[in-house]
Amino acid sequence: MYHLLGKESSSILEVCGGDGELAGGILNEMGDKVKEYVLLDNNKVSIEKAQNTLQPFIKSKKVELILCDVTEGNLTTRVNRTFKIVLGIGALTQAVLEKKSALKVFDELVDMIESDGYLVLTGITEQWVDSETMIQKGLSIKNRSLPNDQLQFYVAQKKK
């Protein structure tokens, strides 16, 4: 993650961020490299848990929590900015979304990545988004799991 954040303070968008545990870990370890962290989730209880987990960072205005269903569309309008890193931890997997919805969300997320920014996708079940789909959208695959691994992950960079 240090490498992805770069030398300057960067912004992160986490989709389906749940209770904020990942955000808290990143901010506790690398908070000086993060200027803004936006967490999206469609579950009110998860957002409430994230408020508790991330309270010190919310007070400092470093974290924004947004209750929204990412499958409804218009993410780019609702969030209205781009990010150095977009995280989808389990978000675009078969266990969470149907394929059509996952691909629609993926298209919007790519539009929200800064030039030379990164998309990180992981999941225990198979991703709906694969290397070919990422390359077609102008992303360069930097790292990925083996195709049949139980834990699937991709790190892709948006080309300039």
Domain spans in the chain, listed from the N-terminal domain onward: 2-158
Instruction: Write out pLDDT tens, residues 61-96.
Output: 999 999 999 888 888 888 999 999 999 988 877 778
Taking a C-beta distance cutoff of 8 angstroms, is the pair 152, 93 a contact?
yes
Q: What is the mean pLDDT of residues 129-152?
A: 88
What is the model's pLDDT at position 96? 81
Q: pLDDT over 70 for what percent of the chain?
A: 99
* End-to-end alpha carbon distance in the chain: 20
CATH number of this structure's domain 2-158: 3.40.50.150
pTM: predicted TM-score of the whole model, two decimal places? 0.92
User: Is the pLDDT assigned to residue 155 strictly greater than 80?
Assistant: yes
